[in-house]
């Protein structure tokens, strides 16, 4: 799984540090603003009180001089007041200008750097005239001609708080106070920066203690995504993060156990599906194939890689008859016929929905069964029953017809009665042979069938059987032997193998013409012997050659019945030979003849203890 690397400026570490620093900055700013405002207000108030105190002292002296205004000439008044002001302003560093007016708002004294008032003239200065009229002290902040901040004070000079004598106008330079405030602000700003730097370092360390376990848990989560369950988060404490780390480690262990259980179950299921003899197809909720095991590939003759993602109805050839939704609702099995008519394969399909207890189907599982052999056996069973019924019905019908004629008086006819009785006897014997052959087949098919084997010299054994047929034959048929004289031992049930050889020789003699030749040949190798019996009959067509060992199969049915065959001889021979661990097969050319071969396992020669 690809994981995008987180930028430091987008990491939680950086964010926590920034948050910690910002909280500190905001706190310091709030404290700073409050502190500076309070400090500024306190310094200005102190400055005002200091200036006001000095004005009060000056006011007392000026009051005495103005009280004498009518008793002395104006020049003497101006000189006395000027002397008082010069003396006052020298001792007051912060005072930049002082102006004294009498009760008529006439300037009687003025000193200072920005003094522009004329002694003996009235002034129209707003604050002076306002204070003169209202007798109310006033204060105001302004900027003087030198672009310096000053506080202007106006104080009424009264005699016994009843008579207005004049007004004092004072400009006090407060720039030094603001310079002090600025210096304090710089000191506070520097302290704030130092505090922020220390806060950032401490915040980074604090954030690291929080982020480190989270980073380790992130690494563990990445390892879990890769399937690695060996990594564990280190627990640094018993706080919430420590408990989270312990919980994460516990979750990892539980996930590992669950993964092992799931993997074990998956391997079991995969092994079961892989080793099933039946085909399995799984689809998703859209009907697209997501799983196909080996037997299903063989049954459908397809490659796994080519069908993944293919619609299941298309794969099974059902797109014209069923939709995927109809397959989900299907309760009955489906039967598919694949291949050619000669090599047809019948597939039985059972479908099951993949679905939780509630909700829509998640997919479909189709199990494929190859029932070709079952269908073939069922067809053979039906054909066998039909053949047995037919084989029994034919002689029974003949016997009933003849017996009806005899019962209706035909037995009195000396010519017809013996002939009819002979036919009836022949059909009876034919039914007996048929029933006996059926009993033999039934016994061979039973599970408890056992062979009574003996070790015999097969060379002498087969020669005796041929001698018996050669002595009892009534037709002019020549027997030719190509049997080695060496002693060959086999472990066989002599009765059963005698029946096999008798049946093959009987068929060869039946189908060979007068003067024909039956050839007996035996080949011996290290592990088995192969016996071949060849006739010079009409032969068997190639398309029928593989079917002559089937029950009730006849190449020429009319001729076989005429010769007394039941159609079971070669089927019985095949069962007996295979019961001995051998094999039987045929070769034939039409118009030339047929050769029946059978093989038997060879045994080691017995020791002679006599």
Residue 166: in which H helix or E strand, if any?
strand 163-173
**In Å, what is the CA distance from 239 to each residue of 20, 55, 222, 233, 580?**
20, 67, 24, 15, 83
Q: Could you tell me which of 322, 300, 326 has the C-alpha nearest to residue 313?
A: 322
Both structure tokens of 452? 């009574």
Q: Quote the pLDDT of residue 600.
A: 92
State pLDDT tens for residues 197-211: 887 787 777 777 777
**In Å, what is the CA distance from 231 to each residue of 9, 220, 221, 403?**
28, 6, 9, 98
564: left (phi over 0), alpha (psi -120 to 50) or beta: left
Q: Is the dihedral of CA 116, 119, 125, 127 positive or negative?
A: positive
Q: Where in the chain is the domain with CATH 3.30.450.20?
A: 14-180, 277-365
The domain made up of 14-180 has a fold known as: Beta-Lactamase (3.30.450)
Instruction: Give residue 532's pLDDT band: very low, low, confident or very high (50, 70, 90).
Output: very high
b/e code 449-463 from CB counts within 10 Å (16+ = b): eeeeeeebebbebbb
- Residues 154 and 98: their CA atoms lie apart, in Å, by 10
Instruction: Give residue 539's pLDDT band: very low, low, confident or very high (50, 70, 90).
Output: confident
Does the pLDDT at position 492 exceed 80? yes
Yes or no: say if 594 and 534 are a contact pair by the CB < 8 Å rule: yes
Residue 368: in which H helix or E strand, if any?
strand 363-370
Yes or no: say if 583 and 596 are a contact pair by the CB < 8 Å rule: no
Both structure tokens of 447? 């599970």
Kindly give the residue spans of alpha helices, DSSP state H, lying in 324-472: 324-328, 372-407, 416-445, 458-472
Higher pLDDT: 533 or 470? It is: 533
Burial class (CB in 10 A: 0-12, 13-18, 19+), 124: exposed
Q: Quote the pLDDT of residue 340.
A: 58
Instruction: Give residue 59's pLDDT band: very low, low, confident or very high (50, 70, 90).
Output: confident
Residues 6+ apart with CB under 8 A from 425: none
Tell me the mean pLDDT in the region 27-37: 82
Q: Where in the chain is the domain with CATH 1.10.287.130?
A: 376-445
Does the pLDDT at position 488 exceed 70? yes
State pLDDT tens for residues 234-276: 777 777 777 777 887 888 888 888 888 888 887 877 777 777 7
Q: Where in the chain is the domain with CATH 3.30.565.10?
A: 454-601
- Residues 359 and 355: their CA atoms lie apart, in Å, by 7
**DSSP label at residue 146:** T
Q: Could you tell me which of 563, 587, 296 has the C-alpha nearest to residue 430?
A: 563
State pLDDT tens for residues 66-89: 877 767 777 887 888 888 888 787
Does the pLDDT at position 607 exceed 50? no
Alpha carbon distance, N-terminus to C-terminus of the chain:
85
Q: Quote the pLDDT of residue 385.
A: 65
Tell me the mean pLDDT in the region 546-551: 75
Instruction: Give residue 555's pLDDT band: very low, low, confident or very high (50, 70, 90).
Output: low
Q: Quote the pLDDT of residue 562.
A: 46
Determine what percent of the chain falls in helix, strand and coil, rounding each to the nearest 5. Answer: 50, 20, 25
Does the pLDDT at position 102 exceed 60? yes
**pTM across the whole model:** 0.40
- Residues 71 and 29: their CA atoms lie apart, in Å, by 62
Kindly give the residue spans of alpha helices, DSSP state H, lying in 321-371: 324-328
Instruction: Give residue 12's pLDDT band: very low, low, confident or very high (50, 70, 90).
Output: low
Yes or no: say if 299 and 368 are a contact pair by the CB < 8 Å rule: yes
Q: Could you tell me which of 99, 219, 106, 249 has the C-alpha nearest to residue 169?
A: 99
- Residues 18 and 199: their CA atoms lie apart, in Å, by 10
* Residue whose token pair is 């069973």: 381
Tally of CB atoms within 10 A around 576: 24
Higher pLDDT: 382 or 346? It is: 346
- Residues 289 and 315: their CA atoms lie apart, in Å, by 9
Yes or no: say if 416 and 407 are a contact pair by the CB < 8 Å rule: no
Tell me the mean pLDDT in the region 213-226: 76
Q: Quote the pLDDT of residue 523.
A: 92
State pLDDT tens for residues 429-463: 767 766 776 666 666 665 556 778 889 999 999 99
Q: Quote the pLDDT of residue 104.
A: 83
Residues 6+ apart with CB under 8 A from 284: 290, 362, 363
The CATH H-level (homologous superfamily) assignment of domain 277-365 is PAS domain (3.30.450.20)
> Taking all residues of the chain, what is their mean pLDDT, rounded to a whole number?
78
Q: What percent of the chain has pLDDT over 90?
A: 6
Tally of CB atoms within 10 A around 477: 19
Tell me the mean pLDDT in the region 120-142: 81
The domain made up of 454-601 has a fold known as: Heat Shock Protein 90 (3.30.565)
CATH for the 376-445 domain, from 3.40.50.300, 3.30.70.580, 1.10.287.130, 3.40.50.20 = 1.10.287.130
- Residues 53 and 175: their CA atoms lie apart, in Å, by 19
Higher pLDDT: 203 or 490? It is: 490
Residue 533 bridge partners (DSSP): 520, 596
**In Å, what is the CA distance from 435 to each residue of 402, 571, 577?**
21, 14, 21
Instruction: Give residue 113's pLDDT band: very low, low, confident or very high (50, 70, 90).
Output: low
Both structure tokens of 429? 């014997």
């Amino acid at each position: 799984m690809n994981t995008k690397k987180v930028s430091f400026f987008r990491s939680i570490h950086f964010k926590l540090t920034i948050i910690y620093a910002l909280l500190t900055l905001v706190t310091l700013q709030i404290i700073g603003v409050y502190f500076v405002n309070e400090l500024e207000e306190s310094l200005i108030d102190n400055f005002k009180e200091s200036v006001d105190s000095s004005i009060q002292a000056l006011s007392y002296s000026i009051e005495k001089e103005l009280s004498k205004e009518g008793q002395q000439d104006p020049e003497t008044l101006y000189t006395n007041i000027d002397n008082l002001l010069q003396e006052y302003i020298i001792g007051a560093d912060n005072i930049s200008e002082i102006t004294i007016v009498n009760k008529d708002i006439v300037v009687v004294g003025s000193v200072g750097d920005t003094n522009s008032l004329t002694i003996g003239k009235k002034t129209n200065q707003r604050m002076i005239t306002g204070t003169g009229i209202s007798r109310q002290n006033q204060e105001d902040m302004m900027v003087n001609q030198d672009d310096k901040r000053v506080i202007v004070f106006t104080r009424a000079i009264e005699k016994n708080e009843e008579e207005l004598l004049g007004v004092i106008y004072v400009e006090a330079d407060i720039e030094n106070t603001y310079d002090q405030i600025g210096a304090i602000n710089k000191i506070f700003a520097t302290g704030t920066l130092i505090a922020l730097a220390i806060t950032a370092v401490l915040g980074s360390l604090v954030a690291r203690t929080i982020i480190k376990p989270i980073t380790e848990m992130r690494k563990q989560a990445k390892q879990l995504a890769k399937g690695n369950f060996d990594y564990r988060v280190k627990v640094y404490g018993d706080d919430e993060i420590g408990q989270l780390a312990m919980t994460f480690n516990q979750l990892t262990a539980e996930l590992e156990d669950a993964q092992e259980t799931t993997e074990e179950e998956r391997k079991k299921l995969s092994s079961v599906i892989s080793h099933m003899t039946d085909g399995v197809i799984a689809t998703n909720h859209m009907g697209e194939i997501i799983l196909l095991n080996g037997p299903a590939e063989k049954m459908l003759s397809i490659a796994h890689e080519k069908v993944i993602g293919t619609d299941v109805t298309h794969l099974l050839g059902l797109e014209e008859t069923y939709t995927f939704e109809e397959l989900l609702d299907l309760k009955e099995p489906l039967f598919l016929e694949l291949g050619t008519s000669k090599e047809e394969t019948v597939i039985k399909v059972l479908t099951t929905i993949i679905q939780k207890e509630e909700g829509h189907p998640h997919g479909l599982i189709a199990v494929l069964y190859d029932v070709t052999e079952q269908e073939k056996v069922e067809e053979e069973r039906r054909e066998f029953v039909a053949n047995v019924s037919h084989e029994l019905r034919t002689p029974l019908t003949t016997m009933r017809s003849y017996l009806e004629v005899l019962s209706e008086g035909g037995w009195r006819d000396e010519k017809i009665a013996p002939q009819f009785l002979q036919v009836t006897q022949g059909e009876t014997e034919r039914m007996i042979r048929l029933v006996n052959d059926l009993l033999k087949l039934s016994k061979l098919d039973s599970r408890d069938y056992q062979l009574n084997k003996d070790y015999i010299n097969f060379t002498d054994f087969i020669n005796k059987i041929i001698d018996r047929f050669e002595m009892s034959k009534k037709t002019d048929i020549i027997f030719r032997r190509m049997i080695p004289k060496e002693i060959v031992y086999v472990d066989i049930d002599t009765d059963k193998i005698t029946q096999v050889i008798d049946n093959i020789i009987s068929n060869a003699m039946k189908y060979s013409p007068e003067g024909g030749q039956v050839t007996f040949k035996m080949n011996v190798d290290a592990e088995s012997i192969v016996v071949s019996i060849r006739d010079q009959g009409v032969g068997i067509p190639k398309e029928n050659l593989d079917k002559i060992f089937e029950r009730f199969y006849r190449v020429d049915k009319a001729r076989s019945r005429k010769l007394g065959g039941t159609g079971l001889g070669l089927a019985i021979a095949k069962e007996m030979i295979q019961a001995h661990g051998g094999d039987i097969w045929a070769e034939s050319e039409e118009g030339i003849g047929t050769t029946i071969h059978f093989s038997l396992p060879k045994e080691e020669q017995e020791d002679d203890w006599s």
